[in-house]
């Protein structure tokens, strides 16, 4: 597919620096330009320089732009989307480098959790996971990679919606490949990475790539705790400690699926409407802490099991499942055995569906980690595995393995030390040095 770059302008004379960013709903940069729907998917409509900062406060020494581009929603209806694209500070655009498509765990409807806002200096996004994930993305910039971070939930914060993250992520890659200041080419090698909600978005991206964007050279993807079956996750989390997360998804899906909207209109008590409205405003962390133990079934006029058994709702739940399209690139899937949010059974099933479709999958389960700790601990092997794929090395470790810890190897421990150095540079606002990195080794304790 040929993708154009049109109307590439920086409407801000200060290039996005030294000013507080506007929330997406108030930002004129995000207004769809006239005639955008007729452009090819991935066409860059506008661009601007931006200043990024850790937690909105500590300025980061990177070259950063934001691209508004043409994409679409879950039904294929044209929409505009935005991605934040990055180069290490001082990088020579003429040098050959790969592109990492990183999908963040936005996990919210609240617009302040959008990466295009949360990563900018002056943002107020306390409770956003994306702000913390910057500490991990910085490790890719240290390697000299270019990075694209799309707002994969779109302008309405559609957390949990099927297909949309794939469209927006793939079109964001197209936009980055065609944005001149990055110095990338149409045949640039692309790696994909995401964890939890970002792993779910990355799953949609690689599942849809063979048919939606076959021209993109995706050489490998790391899917961390990638959800697998959102309906199963809802059933396990509803009424428990992490009940706020499925409540956010319900707040989205009621707008997208008429069958669920009908349940809201006919069967949800006023207290239930207030619960969902609260979830719609929450960040992931505030949802977890403020909506614990909330049971959606307690606010229904009919039993929850009866509501979910309706054919229309079963069709909705089936539409959300991952693993029914086969990625063409090799995959590394990492998952905690004792994940308190995304049960290992759901990921086992997603991996099995991929393999039955013919995908090449390396699947690593970690005994000691839980949901939140595995992301940083698995970062070294994730980036090293992707580096091997970007260098054209064949996948050496396939099949399943269950290990005590993904960090329990010399390469893993060395990687954590390097991450600590990177984190210090990020916290101090120092330049991220480009360094050669060690070859990946997946720790193997026993074959499943």
Evaluate the CA torsion angle 263, 268, 274, 279 in order and state its sign. negative
**267 contact partners, CB below 8 Å, separation of at least 6:** 300, 301, 302, 307
One domain, residues 308 and 160: no
pLDDT at 396: 85
One domain, residues 235 and 351: no
pLDDT at 2: 44
* Boundary-marking domain end, from 320, 345, 361: 320
pLDDT at 6: 54
The answer to whether residue 17 sits within a structural domain is: no
pLDDT at 411: 84
* Boundary-marking domain end, from 262, 295, 320: 320
244: domain range? 230-320
One domain, residues 137 and 182: yes
Average pLDDT per 10 consecutive residues for the chain, totaling 448 residues: 49 53 96 97 98 96 97 96 96 94 95 97 93 95 97 95 97 98 97 98 98 98 96 93 92 94 92 93 92 93 92 95 97 97 96 97 96 96 97 90 92 90 94 58 51
| Angle at the Cα of 57 from the Cα atoms of 52 and 60, rounded to 5 degrees | 35
pLDDT at 16: 46
User: Which of 241, 229, 198 has its CA nearest to residue 344?
Assistant: 229
Burial of 352 (0-12, 13-18, 19+ CB in 10 A): middle
The answer to whether residue 6 sits within a structural domain is: no
pLDDT at 21: 96
Integer Cα distance of 24 and 71 in angstroms: 17
Number of domains making up the chain: 2
**63 contact partners, CB below 8 Å, separation of at least 6:** 86, 87, 88, 89, 90, 91, 181
pLDDT at 354: 97
């Amino acid at each position: 597919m040929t993708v154009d770059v049109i109307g590439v302008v920086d409407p801000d004379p200060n290039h996005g620096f030294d000013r507080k960013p506007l929330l997406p709903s108030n930002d004129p940069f995000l207004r769809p330009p006239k005639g955008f729907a007729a452009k090819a998917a991935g066409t860059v409509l506008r661009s601007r320089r931006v200043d990024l900062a850790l937690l909105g406060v500590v300025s980061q020494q990177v070259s950063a732009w934001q691209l508004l581009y043409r994409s679409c929603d879950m039904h294929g209806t044209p929409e505009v989307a935005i991605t934040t694209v990055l180069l290490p500070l001082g990088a020579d655009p003429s040098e050959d480098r790969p592109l990492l498509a990183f999908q963040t765990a936005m996990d919210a409807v609240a617009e302040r959790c959008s990466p295009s806002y949360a990563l900018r200096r002056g943002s107020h996004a306390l409770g956003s996971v994306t702000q913390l994930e910057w500490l991990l993305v910085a490790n890719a910039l240290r390697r000299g990679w270019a990075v694209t971070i799309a707002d994969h939930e779109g302008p309405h914060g559609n957390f949990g919606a099927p297909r949309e993250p794939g469209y927006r992520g793939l079109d964001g890659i197209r936009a980055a490949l065609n944005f001149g200041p990055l110095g990338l080419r149409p045949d640039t090698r692309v790696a994909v990475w995401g964890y939890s909600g970002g792993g779910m978005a990355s799953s949609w991206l690689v599942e849809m790539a063979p048919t939606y964007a076959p021209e993109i050279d995706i050489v490998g993807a790391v899917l961390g705790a990638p959800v697998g079956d959102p309906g199963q996750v809802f059933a396990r989390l509803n009424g428990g400690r992490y009940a706020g997360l499925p409540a956010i998804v319900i707040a989205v899906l009621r707008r997208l699926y008429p069958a669920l909207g009908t349940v809201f209109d006919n069967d949800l008590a006023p207290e239930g409407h207030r619960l969902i409205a609260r979830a719609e405003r929450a960040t992931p962390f505030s949802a977890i802490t403020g909506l614990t133990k909330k049971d959606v079934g307690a606010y229904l006029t009919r039993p929850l099991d009866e509501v979910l058994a309706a054919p229309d709702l079963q069709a909705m739940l089936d539409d959300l499942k991952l693993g029914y399209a086969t990625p063409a690139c090799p995959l590394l899937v990492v998952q905690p055995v004792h994940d308190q949010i995304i049960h290992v059974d759901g990921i086992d099933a997603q991996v099995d569906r991929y393999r039955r479709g013919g995908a090449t999958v390396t699947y690593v389960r970690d005994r000691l980690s839980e949901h939140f700790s595995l992301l940083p601990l698995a970062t070294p092997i994730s980036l090293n595995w992707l580096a091997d794929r970007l260098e054209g090395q064949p996948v050496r470790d396939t099949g399943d393995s269950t290990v005590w810890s993904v960090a329990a190897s010399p390469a893993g421990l060395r990687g954590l030390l390097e991450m600590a150095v990177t984190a210090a540079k990020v916290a101090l606002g120092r330049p991220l040095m480009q360094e050669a990195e060690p070859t990946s080794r997946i720790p193997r304790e026993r074959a499943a």
